[in-house]
Amino acid sequence: MRACGMIARQGTEAGVDGLKRINQGMFAKILEMIARVSERIIFVPVFAYLMTDVAFQDWAVLISINTFLAVFDFGMRQVFGNHLRDMWVKGELQAQQSYFKAVVLLYGSIAVVLTLVSALASYVFGIHRLFHFEVVPLADQPHLMFLTLMFGVVTFVRAGILEIYRANDQYPRFINFNTILWWPRFIITILAIVIWRDILIGWSVFFACLIVLGIGLPLWDVRKTQPHLWLGFGKAKASFHAAPRECFYLWIGDLARLFALQGPTLLINAMVKDGAVVLAFLLNRNLVTTLREFGMQFALNYGIELGRTTAAGDTRQQNAIILSSGIVLGFGLGQHSAR
């Protein structure tokens, strides 16, 4: 109970720190962008040099599939994160704990079902035949496809874990975990490719890094920094009756953006056989995508705080954030709220 009281006070005091969190989030995002741009500039030519241009086409297809799968949480993480945030700013920590446990049970159940579906799709229905891999041996393709589908499952779970940071006013820390993930994963994956020169092994190492650094590390940190979510063995209680409608609206927007960003990669890979052309296209697309994500994150930082102040009914803080967003990003950009 003492831990809960301490966290409640932290939540109240955090109400005056919205602009400070925005600045911290922007600084963290700059560091993340440096890591991501560096990786995307270095990884493409290094991989192509080690494994040939055609091999990188296969790798790019795997990345695109994984990115498509990432949006098929149907907006769940943001909807559940919004509800957890509303409980946090109102100081309803017991309700947040019960809701969090219900969400964990829901996510765990969905992850188990998706794992079984991934195994069936990969080993029974042979979904790998849809993607026409050029370099990967036929015997390895079902294993590669299973790992790729499991990437989607793990990304789904990871997104739910990281949403807790947004809900509890710690989203700069969430961005830092993204940055932590980029460089070790890049270095370890490149080392695996240098040693084995095998896409399946490289992809397996890539996947293992996501589990350890992308799920294990944040989960350990959440248990350490937000103990009130784990205290006791209270009932998992939540009402999800409004969630499908809210999720649907968010998912449609995510899906449209995804087709615009990743659709060309799959089309280019299917239609263009010149590996050098595909490589140049992917390198340029990676840079443009990274810069776009960077700009969106600036808007999202303001949006998170606007959603928080709306839930708290703090009009003074809300006006300060809107004014700041107008000065920094242009009038109206701050309206990209977490709602």
pLDDT digits (tens, 9 = 90+) for 64-114: 788 777 777 767 888 888 888 888 888 888 888 888 888 888 888 989 999
SS3 content of the chain, % helix, strand, coil (to 5): 85, 0, 15
- pLDDT value, residue 339: 41
Distance CA 165, CA 301 (A): 13
Q: DSSP for 214-261?
A: IIIHHHHHHHHH-GGGTSTT-------TTHHHHHHHHHHHHHHHHHHH
Q: How far apart are the first and last CA of the chain?
A: 31
Helix H or strand E encompassing 321: helix 315-329
- pLDDT value, residue 248: 63
Alpha helices in 124-238 (DSSP H): 141-167, 171-196, 199-209, 217-225
Domain ranges, residue 298: 2-335
Q: Closest Cα to residue 75, out of 143, 156, 154, 10?
A: 156
- pLDDT value, residue 278: 63
- pLDDT value, residue 244: 60
Q: Give the alpha-carbon dihedral of 14, 294, 302, 254, to 10 degrees.
A: -110
- pLDDT value, residue 283: 63
At residue 272, φ and ψ (nearest 5 deg) are: -110, 125
- pLDDT value, residue 12: 39
Residue 204 neighbours by CB distance under 10 Å: 17
DSSP tag of 125: S
- pLDDT value, residue 256: 66
- pLDDT value, residue 89: 86
Q: How many domains does the chain have?
A: 1
The one-digit pLDDT tens for each residue of the chain (339 residues) are 444 444 444 443 444 466 777 777 777 777 777 777 777 677 777 887 888 777 877 888 888 788 777 777 767 888 888 888 888 888 888 888 888 888 888 888 989 999 999 999 999 999 999 888 888 899 999 999 999 999 989 988 888 888 888 888 787 787 777 777 777 888 899 899 889 999 999 999 999 999 998 889 888 998 888 887 875 555 656 566 556 666 666 666 666 666 666 566 666 666 666 656 666 666 666 666 666 666 666 666 667 777 777 777 777 776 776 666 655 554 344 334 434
**Residues present in the chain in total:** 339
Q: Is 174 helix (H, G, I), strand (E, B) or coil?
A: helix
Q: Name the token pair of 37.
A: 């741009």
Q: Name the token pair of 173.
A: 């820390």
